[in-house]
Amino acid sequence: MKRISSPDNQVIKLARSLHHKKYRDQKQLFLVEGRRSVQEALASPKLVHMLFIQEDGAEEYADLQDIDCYILDEKMLKQISATETQQGMAAILRKPGWSLPVLLQTERFLVLLDRVADPGNLGSMIRSCWALGVDGLLLTAGCVDPYSPKVVRSTMGGILHLPVFEGIAEGDLDLLQAQGYQFIATGFENAQNYYDIDMNGAKLLILGSEADGINPALKSRCSQVSKIPINPKVDSLNVAAACAIITAEAWRQRHGRPIQI
């Protein structure tokens, strides 16, 4: 392991640069912080580009092979941290290289998010989709960067396991429909209760932005609209909560008892 004590070190500058989307995109790298998230990353060592450890925890990782490890003091670890309180560990990871055409070789249950801008919501949805067996998460332009530090923290490791595809455009939607995917919107107009919709087979569930809902052009591609019955005194559910509720029903249908039609 190498020790770094200068904030001008190129490794430290690289880690700090990953607070910004421009450099994450350029380098195809992102930053994770905290013991739990880093340990989750170490279970997929090919993704780990660099590891940063405070000295009092370095001995535990002394035998790591093929990973550049650096010992930092608390002050230096704060230099690279994007959080107020860091937990003694951080790592620079390579972005996973998922392929949408490969994923679509088998019938899948996918979720598409249209212009979801809140990092906490996106992070929660990545975690929920991972937990509830969603096969892939698609993001239109205008969604928050899934590799931003706030989103990555909220996923609790989900960003490493759930295939996430950014910048979904018309051509990708055409591909899905050519592959026989049925698009299911979320909303209240001309909608069925979510538990009455068949979630088996090749399905794409679409959830819209917190402020504006689903883009009309995207909604026009949908053959069904799903709603969650709620207290009529409440205007709507948080998009992350809606995602968890509907994907839990999809998990039940696809791995348990299908609905009776």
Domains and CATH numbers, the chain: 2-94 (3.30.1330.30), 100-255 (3.40.1280.10)
Integer Cα distance of 118 and 156 in angstroms: 16
> What pLDDT score does 85 carry?
63
The pair of three-digit structure tokens given for residue 81, joined into one six-digit string: 């941290």
Closest CA to 203 of 180, 174, 172, 228: 180
CB-CB neighbours of 23 under 10 Å: 14
> What pLDDT score does 106 carry?
95
- Asked if 145 and 151 count as a contact pair (C-beta separation under 8 A), the reply is yes
> What pLDDT score does 256 carry?
81
- Asked if 240 and 117 count as a contact pair (C-beta separation under 8 A), the reply is no
> What pLDDT score does 16 carry?
96
Integer Cα distance of 116 and 218 in angstroms: 14
Cα-only R_g, the chain: 20
For the chain, which residues score pLDDT lower than 50? Answer: 261
Spell out the residues 6+ positions from residue 31 whose beta carbon is closer than 8 angstroms to its own: 15, 18, 19, 80, 82, 90, 91, 92, 93, 149, 152
> What pLDDT score does 260 carry?
56
What sign for the dihedral angle of Cα 133, 153, 103, 241?
positive
Reduced to 3 states, what is the DSSP secondary structure of residue 210?
Answer: coil
Integer Cα distance of 128 and 156 in angstroms: 10
- Asked if 96 and 165 count as a contact pair (C-beta separation under 8 A), the reply is no
- Asked if 71 and 58 count as a contact pair (C-beta separation under 8 A), the reply is yes
Closest CA to 112 of 219, 30, 194, 190: 219
> What pLDDT score does 228 carry?
96
Supply the pTM of this predicted model: 0.92
